[in-house]
Structure 1
Amino acid sequence: MEKTGSTWFVYRITMVAAVGGLLFGYDTAVISGAIGFLQTNYNLSSAMMGWIASCAILGCMLGAMFAGGLSDKVGRKKVLMLSAVLFAVSSVGTAMPPSLTWFVVFRLIGGLGIGIASILAPMYITEIAPAAIRGRLVSINQLGIVTGILLIYFVNAGIAGLYDEAWNITTGWRWMFGSGIIPSVIFMALLFFVPESPRWLAKKGQVEEPLAILTRINGPQKAQVELNQIRETLSEETGTLGELLKPGLRKAFFIGVVLAILSQITGINAIMYYAPEIFKSTGDGSDSALLQTILVGTVNLLFTIVAIKYVDNWGRKGLLLVGSAGMAVCLLIIGGAFYLEMVKGYVVLVFILAYIAFFAVSLGPLAFVIIAEIFPNRTRGRAMSICLSALWIAVFVVSQFFPILLEAIGSAYTFWIFMVMSVITFVFVWRLVPETKGKTLEEIERSWTHVQPDSLEPQSMLVK
């Protein structure tokens, strides 16, 4: 029997779970390349344009609501497989909708898959990962998300370049949505080769199987210690929603919900969903706007890799503070450029890219990391469902009202609203979010219930 765990085994199952994140990013961002063609094809108003862009989010909310509870009953792995099926059905349906109504229906089905993946992929990785590299591994899920976003940007641009504008208006957007069937099938196949979550198995009273999985991850000595800790904390938990409202965990619950909302109302999805339309408003044509959108996706990917490299060294809190402060500055300048009508040239592009970079090293991956870490084993599924439902409600509000805000108050004030939200995020993280790097999930849980949460924080909140 091996004395230490297999790093390759841990990374392999993390990468498979992160394909769920890739589908998440792929399916949410596909609308960015298609929305302009859909608007022309169906003669959409600003309100309808917002609805078409955001309708999938309603499905995300529903998926997030039931995914945690369902995974507590049948397992993390089975529910991830369900998300892959829903992605596949949505890809085929949105490519060949009989009407706009049916397009919305299939986008809602895809949204169910996104909502499930948004919870289950980081939850599964969190429950598999060793404490020392858990932040890095959970951040790989965000790498999957941004890889999916970048991939669909390339796919959208490639499809849009096949023929002329007229073909894109009638047919090209269908190919964009239909392309999602390929990663959906790949994800479904890969899930057959990964184990179930050892913490879920332990919760179901099993001993040998979770011990075998933990042994492959940590080695036999650490595996037995960790399994004992898991069983001990499970025996102390009731697993009810009321447990999350008790002193200690109540603060964790509040942090999880608010951080989920703040990660979205700082404007990231407004830029991701509407990037081509934003760049067109600066005077660029469709082709140039799509290429600049690819640049957005590339920066998002590169700086997510930076977050993965440093999250377990610098900590969650330091990166969140740096990221939210940087986002606020960038949004201030972007709004100023629109206000002063200085949108020609590269000012807007440069600071949108800088904004994306700051988001990618902070709120992008770390909101999911922290939400997946701070809850007890028995209630993690239910708690994450509530937090991620709140996240998707925030995404829906931003996606639905962003084009309406642009029309009503203009680009400058819209981006300044997001700036204010970024400042609020900085203050919230500074005052309330604890540092969790290097702690086992059971140690984090005990810190809420047995000691003051502030004891989790490092002596200095500055990035080391």
Structure 2
Amino acid sequence: MTENVLSPGAKVPPSDTGEGTAVPFRIAAVAALGGLLFGYDSAVINGAVSAIEGKFQVESALLGFAIASALLGAAAGAMVAGRIADRYGRLVTMQAAAVMFLLSALGTGFAPDVEVLVVFRIVGGLGVGLASVIAPAYIAEISPARVRGRLGSLQQLAIVTGIFVSLLVDYALAALAGGSQEELWFGLEAWRWMFLAMCVPALAYGLLSLTIPESPRYLIAQGRLGEARGVLAVLLGEKGLDLKVESIRATLARENEPSIRDLKGSAIGLLPIVWIGIGLSVFQQFVGINVIFYYSSVLWQAVGFDEGSSLQITVITAVVNIATTLIAIAYIDRVGRRPLLIIGSAGMAVTLATMAVIFGTASTTVVNGVTTPQLTGLQGPIALIAANLFVVAFGMSWGPVVWVLLGEAFPNRIRAAALSLAAGAQWAANWLITVSFPSMKDFSLGISYGFYAVCAVLSLVFVLRWVKETKGVELEAMQSDPVV
């Protein structure tokens, strides 16, 4: 029952104590709803790209900026999320994100011009940034160590589910209207309803965040020991509770309020673990995963598929992403974080290199001054298979594992601030990749995918050299130096 979660002194059935994971799972699932909105807001633009381009008559460069504008908001939201979470609490941060998502849905859905659309895409991006920081931090802080990887992976599962839902909504609305630019209901085009549909999960996220407890580590940092003890009893059971509270207090001990200054260290100005978090974030984006989800409809149309077929392919790719994330959830606490990253990097390098070769050697035609590749014979099927195997490699590794590591690898006293910086770097990298792709696509898809393949190889080197295993390590044992 929800009362057990909210009432610090409530008795908890045996199945929901430290012997089980029912309560932590329910709480983590609610927190992960931010990831669903994160995924929806990020990918909903996919089905609307062509309609926006036609409606507002925008060129490639401006179109890329309009699409990527949400990422600017996400970077800003991520950078301030840690401060908000440390000052006002994890739940207030979730609720602020829900409000941002709701405003974005309404503003973009009714946007009269591209400038207003960009403004509200940025507002939605702020919500994405807040959610991208608070969900992994909160889930890590309420999860027992033995299942922290699985519960932390719920964030990525929610993200890819949000991507799938948005792409499915895009496809369904475009099909109902006979095209994304056609009117659907109440005189509004289908692409507008794609954005407005986000109101439903935004309201659900905000309301459900009222039903879960505050992070016990935040409560202890605020001196609210009684409340923290009650929440920990619900999550872990009564055994060893006093030692747990004292252990958390020791790692949170400080003379001043948490701030970005706590991240300073000897490794080029930052603590080593902070640089590792930034590196993981940047490589997660530089392999080009979001090109698949932001531009795949346009990409497949460019190589000969019609709008309906392109959206179908994109929906199938999203389903593949969900399935492989479930694989990661099943194995992350058994195999560990590092092995999954290594396997994923190798798989991404091979599949991206295959796509680089296919698009780099394809014949081309010039349409409206733009050189477009023409896939013939087996090139089309091979490109489709390689693209989906790339999603498999990413979905079972770098997708969920990076969020798990960002949530758990930082010491308690710097977790929110460090996660903010790492997530901010991730959104900045995402913005660079997203805004550059339209121009790169027009220049050469082969070179574009070749660049992503090189980044995948470098990500493998990065993991082998600097990323250590955190499987089964208590949060209170995390150090400023990389965990061995």
Give the alignment's TM-score, normalised by structure 2.
Answer: 0.90
SS state at 1:114 partner = helix
Q: What is the 5 A alignment of 1:26-175?
A: 26-165=40-179, 166-167=181-182, 171-175=189-193
> Equivalent residue for 1:255?
276
Contact 2:411–2:477 (CA<8 Å) still a contact in 1?
no
**Partner letter of residue 126 of structure 1?**
A
> Equivalent residue for 2:468?
434
> Equivalent residue for 1:190?
208
Contact 2:136–2:406 (CA<8 Å) still a contact in 1?
no
Q: Give a deviation string over 1:402-447, Cα, whole Å, max 9, x none.
A: 1111112x101100000000000000001000100000111123xx
Contact 2:56–2:113 (CA<8 Å) still a contact in 1?
no
**315 and 36 in structure 1: CA distance in 2 versus 1, 3 angstrom threshold:** same
> Equivalent residue for 2:309?
288
Contact 1:311–1:319 (CA<8 Å) still a contact in 2?
yes
> Equivalent residue for 1:420?
454
Please say if 1:266 is aligned against 2:287: yes
> Equivalent residue for 2:370?
none
| Structure 1 residue 168 displacement after superposition | 6.0
CA distance, structure 1, for counterparts of residue 112 and residue 53 of structure 2? 17
SS state at 2:478 partner = helix
| Structure 1 residue 141 displacement after superposition | 0.7
Contact 2:83–2:259 (CA<8 Å) still a contact in 1?
no
Contact 1:338–1:411 (CA<8 Å) still a contact in 2?
yes
Say which of 230, 244, 262 aligns to 1:243.
Answer: 262
Q: Please list every run of 5 or more consecutive structure 1 residues that lacks an aligned counterpart in the other structure.
A: 458-464
> Equivalent residue for 2:231?
213
CA distance, structure 1, for counterparts of residue 422 and residue 255 of structure 2? 20
**Partner letter of residue 271 of structure 1?**
I
Q: Please list every run of 5 or more consecutive structure 2 residues that lacks an aligned counterpart in the other structure.
A: 1-10, 363-373
Say which of 375, 382, 395 aligns to 1:343.
Answer: 375
SS state at 1:126 partner = helix
> Equivalent residue for 1:402?
437
CA distance, structure 2, for counterparts of residue 163 and residue 360 of structure 1? 32
SS state at 1:384 partner = helix
**Partner letter of residue 436 of structure 1?**
T
Contact 2:220–2:249 (CA<8 Å) still a contact in 1?
yes
Q: Give a deviation string over 1:193-217, Cα, whole Å, max 9, x none.
A: 1000000001111211111111111
| Structure 1 residue 223 displacement after superposition | 3.0
| Structure 1 residue 258 displacement after superposition | 1.2
Corresponding residue pairs, total: 449
CA distance, structure 2, for counterparts of residue 245 and residue 64 of structure 1? 18
Say which of 388, 412, 417 aligns to 1:353.
Answer: 388
CA distance, structure 1, for counterparts of residue 152 and residue 402 of structure 2? 10
CA distance, structure 2, for counterparts of residue 161 and residue 377 of structure 1? 49
SS state at 1:161 partner = helix
Please say if 1:14 is aligned against 2:28: yes
**Partner letter of residue 195 of structure 1?**
P
CA distance, structure 2, for counterparts of residue 442 and residue 21 of structure 1? 25
CA distance, structure 2, for counterparts of residue 367 and residue 10 of structure 1? 21
**Partner letter of residue 50 of structure 1?**
G
Say which of 380, 388, 393 aligns to 2:428.
Answer: 393
**33 and 222 in structure 1: CA distance in 2 versus 1, 3 angstrom threshold:** farther
Contact 1:202–1:230 (CA<8 Å) still a contact in 2?
yes
> Equivalent residue for 2:415?
380
- Could you say which structure has the higher helix fraction? 1
| Structure 1 residue 243 displacement after superposition | 3.4
> Equivalent residue for 2:221?
203
Contact 1:237–1:378 (CA<8 Å) still a contact in 2?
no
CA distance, structure 1, for counterparts of residue 262 and residue 177 of structure 2? 58
| Structure 1 residue 236 displacement after superposition | 6.0
| Structure 1 residue 186 displacement after superposition | 0.7
CA distance, structure 1, for counterparts of residue 259 and residue 172 of structure 2? 49
Contact 1:215–1:222 (CA<8 Å) still a contact in 2?
no
> Equivalent residue for 1:230?
248
| Structure 1 residue 343 displacement after superposition | 2.8
CA distance, structure 2, for counterparts of residue 354 and residue 89 of structure 1? 36
Pick which of 419-428 and 5-14 moved more.
Answer: 5-14
CA distance, structure 1, for counterparts of residue 118 and residue 183 of structure 2? 19
Contact 1:160–1:168 (CA<8 Å) still a contact in 2?
no
| Structure 1 residue 246 displacement after superposition | 3.0
**236 and 96 in structure 1: CA distance in 2 versus 1, 3 angstrom threshold:** closer
CA distance, structure 2, for counterparts of residue 325 and residue 443 of structure 1? 30
SS state at 2:203 partner = helix
| Structure 1 residue 247 displacement after superposition | 5.0
| Structure 1 residue 225 displacement after superposition | 2.5
CA distance, structure 2, for counterparts of residue 379 and residue 353 of structure 1? 37
Give the alignment's TM-score, normalised by structure 1.
Answer: 0.94
**97 and 351 in structure 1: CA distance in 2 versus 1, 3 angstrom threshold:** same
Root-mean-square deviation (CA), in Å? 1.7
SS state at 2:23 partner = helix
